Structure 1
Amino acid sequence: MKYLKYFLLVTIVLITSSYTPRTSRISEGIYPGDLMPELKIDNESGTKLDLEHLKGVKVLVSFWAAYDAESHMKNVLLWNALQKEKHSLVMVSVSFDKSKAVFEKTLSMDGINDRYQFLDTKGSDSKIYQKYQLEKGFQNYLIDENGVIMAINLTPKDLSRILEKKTS
């Protein structure tokens, strides 16, 4: 009887300690450590973006608009830094300008390749704008190969520092 109590106690401890989930899922969100929410959009030349198709590659997503000087400047500086440094990274930009002409002229003046440049003419009424809570300000996101947000609101210096740290 004495050993039966110990046996039951050990059994209960083993059962409860072994009942931990083997896999934990990262929750979707808009902060570092979260899984980047779904992002699907078409650009004006017919190219479709689905971040799911970029799994396995680091991605920098930049939300901006020509009318917002700070976000526009960050977008250009990040683009130029990536062209100069040749990091193995895809930069995807989403502009919320309501005018296609303004968007195209801005890209042309900035010297930005339009392959991964997307326009959402719905502006603040856009589902993307609302999902990423951009009414609080335009942001950029560095996403790892698994779709997890590594950092937000990066400057070119921050980006270089993070990417160099990951490669060394």
Structure 2
Amino acid sequence: MKKTLLVLGFLCCVITSSKAQVVGVDVGNIAPEIELPDTKGNVVSLSSFRGALVLVDFWASWCGPCIKEQPTLLKLHNAYPEKLFIYGVSMDTKKPLWTGAIAKGKLPWTNVSDLKYWSSPVVSAYMLQSVPLNFLIDKNGIILAKNIHGKALEDMVNGLLTK
């Protein structure tokens, strides 16, 4: 009987501890913090957007697929200006290229970069291997989806924000 109680107690501990959320980049994880300067040099943290749906978008001015995705992002930004926030993280190393791409694309959302390219600590925190890469994060900082683009991104955001 003692053995059975001990096994049941152990199983209870394992089951309850396995549901603890961790910081990571898998769906269901808490998104790692990002604190980088924007185009004016002001540090903007990802956690400052808690309470809203956030799309963290890793991109670069030299990335064709990233630039191709911008009209979709603009459409979503304009459809939900107070409900969806886009936090663009540039992988550019030269500020003029980064700010020029923002101006050319007329990107109104928060754009940050440390201009370190692949040596940035954010790269390792998000296990970034290539761009574009994005993470859709809920109001509590939990990753809902990653690497979701185009119509799939639109459908998911529309579904979440038109409830």
TM-score normalised according to structure 1 size: 0.80
Aligned to 1:148: 142
Aligned to 1:12: 5
Q: Which whole-Å CA distance do the structure 1 matches of 2:102 and 2:158 have between them?
A: 28
Matching residue's letter, 1:16: G
Matched, 1:161 2:144: no
Q: CA deviation at 1:160?
A: 2.6
* Unaligned segments of structure 2, at least 5 residues: none
Q: How does 1:80-95 map to 2 (within 5 A)?
A: 80-86=74-80, 88-95=83-90
Aligned-residue CA RMSD (Å): 2.6
Q: Please tell me whether Structure 1 or Structure 2 has the larger radius of gyration of its CA atoms.
A: 1
Equivalenced residue count is: 159
Give the aligned partner of residue 126 of structure 1: 120
| 2:43 aligned with 1:52 | no
Give me the TM-score of the superposition, normalised by structure 2: 0.82
Q: Secondary structure at the residue paired with 1:134?
A: coil
Displacement, 1:23? 9.4
Give distance in 2, aligned partners of 1:48 and 1:80.
23
Over the matched positions of the two proteins, sequence identity in percent amounts to 24
Contiguous gaps of at least 5 residues in structure 1: 1-7
Q: What is the identity, as a one-letter code, of the residue corresponding to 2:142?
A: V
* d(CA) in 1 for partners of 2:88, 2:26: 18
Q: 1:23–1:133: structure 2 CA closer, same or farther, 3 Å change rule? A: closer
Higher relative CO (CA 8 A, sep ≥ 6), structure 1 or 2? 2
CA contact (8 A) 2:77 2:84 kept: no
Write the distance in 2 (CA, Å) between the matches of 1:128 and 1:105. Answer: 22
AA matched with 2:94 = S
Q: Which residue of 2 aligns with 1:96?
A: 91
